[in-house]
């Protein structure tokens, strides 16, 4: 494991807490050396264990207390350190936050990605929202942007959060199902809660199945406020855009990966950082003048709404790179404590009722999760800005505060810590008038327009996936009433959607809603409209056996690796393969230890003997058919085309040496050194598309 030091201020601070065991001797917690740790101290070799065995007692006691409560939501996560730098100082017009306005300094960050519903040991690739929480260790203090990969939320007021979470979590009698929304209580809740509809549509979309944490967007969700040096406020929504584009898995694939590699997203993040292929994201902001607070047909304070990007463009402001894996999952990724109220001067809240509750919840939850009020002193949570409070004592106090005073004002401590004369956080001055009242604002009541905007913005294939997701999820709901209620709710969004969902789950579609809504769409909402040109870090499997055309395979590997792709040779067994042409080549992995769902594309190279072996290997044939079914680019050359045929892939197999591309299948009958260069370029072109949605694969059995 290569954990190179980054040497920034946070890294320096962490270094003081790091412990290496190399060359050390085993001791007790008290530093007493131990020379025997396999047998307890007993009265006679077959007698009872003695209470005075302090080493055994200490060892067992610590073990008994190793676990802490998992996060009540977002329990399953993966994290990494990195750095953020703004492009320029132009945002200074709107905010005094230095980390957003000082391009001369790189700010250390820690990001934790997560799923929401599952427990710590659940699979990564479930249908779920993903958390995207960033801690910026700024010179002005820690700023936490605790976002998700979807820009809206299920509820408008935080008081509903326990209800929502209870509904989506496994059901109380039997704790089934794990990490799934496909069960009665979730759909019961959301079908009775129209405000959830917009977010549920995002959850049913491909956004809920990210290919990688490196290939998903992040959103702050709420409207926050930037505040400048004059105290002027500007509304802001935060966006993260991944440099590699936004890509998703397909549903069948996610379910298989959950078994083949439940750590799929976690492993992907770890491996890419270890390989030096650092994930990168661009931070963008949507800014709205306070004067325009009421210029929209929705309320900016309503977290179930987006500001369409065509209406207010996203302004790029900086770039984040994740370049170091943690040393210890528990110490860092588990113990990191995010809090929406961790803000720095220049960033403030709005009266979004969801945000207001979060500002209470995150501090509160850490107190139970991390066992007391000193969790901000844990290495991963410590700010790099100096910390001086009059707070004292509590479980796990790490600091040794010297001096007589722990109060303000004091004279015995020379008045310190003193009040700051500059650089302090000042709450935005906002006039608030109102009656104490439990009432949802009337401006929060349109639950359908933006759900419809989302639906209208989907490409055909994305829409198909949404329908399929509704059918799958509702198909798992036992109570037919709940299915019917959900379909009725969808009918308020779009009759066609409601009809298509209803048909799949044995429910009669309601008549079209008299008020079929607007025809607007927002191109930015479709993932397929994002630019697709990179093949960096895409994983390609080359299926080979003894007798493979190693020359052709090497040329393919070189061509794709040059563009940052990862190519692995898979064979019936690992190790060296004799080559039909060229030097022997090494198989990186055995086919049966992997699966097509763990790769982005697959290649069947030339080599009559190799092809003959693979044609009788069910894993190899299924590998190809399954990749084809999941709309992945497939390539074959020379006699490799026979293997494609065996897997039922018949697109453009009839050609000659010239390179043909059809339906994402790239072929040539040429091999070895005569395989045209175009072949690699054509394959890379298909790979950049990520999936070939024009391919119809319903009938493919895989």
Q: Binding site for heme: which residues?
A: 71, 112, 161, 358, 362, 369
Q: Which two tokens stand for residue 182?
A: 């496909």
Shortest CB 526 distance to ligand HDE, Å: 22
What binding mask, one character per residue, do residues 266-305 give for ligand HDE by CB under 6 A, x or -? -------------------------------------x--
- 147 in contact with ligand HDE (CB under 6 A): yes
Q: What radius of gyration, in Å, describes the C-alpha atoms of the chain?
A: 28
- 493 in contact with ligand HDE (CB under 6 A): no
Output the CA torsion 297→303→307→313 (10° steps). 160
Nearest alpha carbon to residue 8 among 339, 323, 432, 422: 323
Q: Which of 115, 125, 138, 148 binds ligand HDE (CB under 6 A)?
A: 148
* Segment interacting with ligand HDE (CB under 6 A) among 145-153, 443-451, 506-514, 624-632: 145-153
Nearest alpha carbon to residue 128 among 150, 147, 160: 150
Q: Which C-beta is closer to ligand HDE: that of 115 or that of 180?
A: 115
Residue with tokens 């290997």: 617
Q: Which C-beta is closer to ligand HDE: that of 99 or that of 219?
A: 219
- Distance, CA of 353 to CA of 440 (rounded, Å): 9
What binding mask, one character per residue, do residues 20-59 give for ligand HDE by CB under 6 A, x or -? ----------------------------------------
- Distance, CA of 125 to CA of 114 (rounded, Å): 11
Q: Is 555 within 8 Å of 522 (Cβ atoms)?
A: no
- 82 in contact with ligand HDE (CB under 6 A): no
- 71 in contact with ligand HDE (CB under 6 A): yes
Establish whether 652 is a catalytic residue. no
Establish whether 342 is a catalytic residue. no
Between strands 233-242 and 224-227, the pairing is antiparallel
Q: Which C-beta is closer to ligand HDE: that of 143 or that of 628?
A: 143
Binding residues for ligand HDE, total number by CB under 6 A? 26
- 146 in contact with ligand HDE (CB under 6 A): yes
Residue with tokens 């479980």: 395
Q: Which C-beta is closer to ligand HDE: that of 73 or that of 634?
A: 73
Q: Which C-beta is closer to ligand HDE: that of 342 or that of 669?
A: 342
Q: Which two tokens stand for residue 441?
A: 């604002």
* Segment interacting with ligand HDE (CB under 6 A) among 278-286, 353-361, 420-428, 448-456: 353-361
Shortest CB 219 distance to ligand HDE, Å: 7
Dihedral (CA of 522, 526, 527, 529) sign:
negative
Q: Which of 6, 361, 443, 697 binds ligand HDE (CB under 6 A)?
A: 361
User: How many residues belong to the chain?
Assistant: 702
- 77 in contact with ligand HDE (CB under 6 A): yes
CB atoms within 10 A of CB 28: 13
Shortest CB 235 distance to ligand HDE, Å: 16
Supply φ then ψ for residue 160, to 5 degrees. -85, -5
**How would you classify residue 616: left for phi > 0, otherwise alpha for psi between -120 and 50, otherwise beta?**
alpha
Shortest CB 81 distance to ligand HDE, Å: 14
Catalytic residue, candidates 94, 142, 148, 265: 148
Nearest alpha carbon to residue 568 among 546, 583, 551, 553: 553
- 151 in contact with ligand HDE (CB under 6 A): no
Residue with tokens 């004292």: 392
* Segment interacting with ligand HDE (CB under 6 A) among 147-155, 209-217, 518-526, 648-656: 147-155
- 198 in contact with ligand HDE (CB under 6 A): no
Give the 3-state secondary structure of 523-563.
HHHCHHHCCCCCCCCCEEEEECCCCEEHHHHHHHHHHHHCC
Q: Is 235 within 8 Å of 302 (Cβ atoms)?
A: no
CB atoms within 10 A of CB 33: 8
Among positions 93-132, residues that touch ligand HDE (CB under 6 A) are: 112, 114, 131
Q: Which two tokens stand for residue 11?
A: 């890294």
Shortest CB 328 distance to ligand HDE, Å: 16
**Would you call 581 exposed, middle or buried from its count of C-beta atoms within 10 A (0-12, 13-18, 19+)?**
middle
Q: Which C-beta is closer to ligand HDE: that of 163 or that of 558?
A: 163
Q: Which C-beta is closer to ligand HDE: that of 73 or that of 649?
A: 73
Looking at the annotation, which residues are catalytic? Answer: 74, 148
Residues that bind ligand HDE (CB under 6 A): 71-74, 77, 112, 114, 131, 133, 146-148, 153, 158, 161, 221, 303, 336, 338, 354, 357-358, 361-362, 365-366
């Amino acid at each position: 494991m290569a954990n190179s030091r980054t040497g920034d201020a946070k890294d320096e601070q962490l270094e003081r807490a790091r412990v290496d065991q190399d060359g050390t001797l085993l001791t007790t917690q008290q530093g007493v050396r131990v020379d025997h740790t396999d047998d307890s101290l007993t009265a006679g070799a077959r007698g009872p264990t003695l209470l005075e065995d302090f080493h055994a007692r200490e060892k067992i006691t610590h073990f008994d207390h190793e676990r802490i409560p998992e996060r009540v939501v977002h329990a399953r996560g993966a994290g990494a350190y990195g750095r953020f730098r703004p492009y320029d100082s132009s945002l200074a017009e709107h905010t005094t936050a230095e980390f957003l306005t000082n391009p001369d300094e790189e700010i250390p960050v820690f990001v934790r990605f997560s799923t929401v519903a599952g427990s710590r040991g659940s699979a990564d690739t479930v249908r779920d929202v993903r958390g995207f929480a960033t801690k910026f260790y700024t010179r002005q203090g820690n700023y936490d942007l605790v976002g998700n990969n979807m820009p809206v939320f299920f509820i408008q007021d935080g008081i509903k959060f326990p209800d929502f979470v209870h509904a989506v979590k496994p059901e109380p009698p039997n704790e089934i199902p794990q990490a799934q929304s496909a069960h009665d209580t979730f759909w019961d809740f959301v079908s009775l809660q129209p405000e959830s509809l917009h977010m549920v549509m995002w959850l049913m979309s491909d956004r809920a199945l990210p290919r990688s944490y490196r290939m998903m967007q992040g959103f702050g969700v709420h409207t926050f406020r930037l505040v400048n040096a004059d105290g002027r406020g500007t509304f802001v929504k935060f966006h993260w855009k991944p440099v590699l584009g936004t890509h998703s898995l397909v549903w069948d694939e996610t379910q298989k990966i959950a078994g083949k590699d439940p750590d799929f997203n976690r492993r992907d993040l770890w491996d890419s950082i270890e390989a030096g292929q650092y994930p990168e994201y661009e931070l963008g902001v949507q800014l709205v003048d306070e004067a325009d607070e009421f210029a929209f047909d929705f309320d900016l304070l309503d977290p179930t709404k987006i500001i369409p990007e065509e209406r207010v463009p996203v302004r790029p402001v900086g770039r984040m790179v994740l370049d170091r894996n943690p040393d210890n999952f528990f110490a860092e990724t588990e113990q990191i404590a995010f809090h929406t109220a961790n803000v720095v001067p220049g960033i403030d809240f709005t009266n979004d009722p969801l945000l207001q509750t979060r500002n209470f919840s995150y501090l509160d939850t850490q107190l139970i999760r991390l066992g007391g009020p000193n969790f901000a002193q844990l290495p991963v949570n410590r700010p790099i800005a100096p910390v001086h409070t009059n707070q004292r004592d509590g479980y796990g106090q790490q600091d040794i505060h010297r001096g007589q005073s722990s109060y303000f004002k004091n004279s015995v401590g020379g008045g310190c810590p003193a009040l700051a004369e500059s650089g302090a956080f000042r709450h935005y001055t906002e006039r608030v008038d109102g009656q104490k009242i439990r009432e949802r604002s009337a401006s929060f009541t349109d639950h359908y327009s933006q759900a419809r905007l989302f639906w209208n913005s989907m490409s055909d294939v994305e829409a198909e996936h949404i329908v399929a997701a509704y059918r799958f999820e509702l198909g798992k709901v036992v109570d037919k009433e709940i299915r019917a209620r959900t379909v009725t709710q969808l009918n308020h969004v779009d009759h066609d959607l409601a009809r298509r969902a209803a048909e799949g789950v044995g429910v009669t579609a309601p008549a079209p809603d008299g008020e079929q809504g607007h025809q607007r769409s927002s191109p930015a909402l479709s993932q397929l409209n994002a630019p697709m040109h990179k093949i960096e870090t895409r994983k390609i499997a080359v299926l080979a056996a003894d007798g493979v055309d190693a020359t052709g395979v090497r040329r393919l590997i070189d061509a794709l690796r040059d563009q940052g792709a990862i190519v692995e040779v898979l064979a019936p067994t690992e190790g060296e393969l004799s080559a039909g042409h060229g030097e022997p080549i090494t198989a990186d992995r055995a086919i049966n230890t992997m699966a097509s769902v763990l790769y982005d594309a697959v290649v069947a190279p030339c080599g009559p003997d190799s092809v003959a072996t693979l044609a009788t290997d069910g894993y190899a044939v299924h590998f190809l058919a399954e990749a084809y079914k999941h709309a992945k680019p497939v390539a074959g050359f020379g006699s490799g085309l026979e293997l494609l045929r065996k897997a039922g892939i018949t697109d453009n197999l009839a050609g000659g040496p010239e390179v043909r591309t059809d339906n994402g299948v790239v072929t040539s009958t040429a091999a070895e050194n005569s395989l045209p260069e175009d072949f690699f370029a054509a394959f890379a072109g298909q790979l950049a598309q990520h999936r070939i949605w024009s391919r119809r694969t319903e009938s493919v059995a895989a």
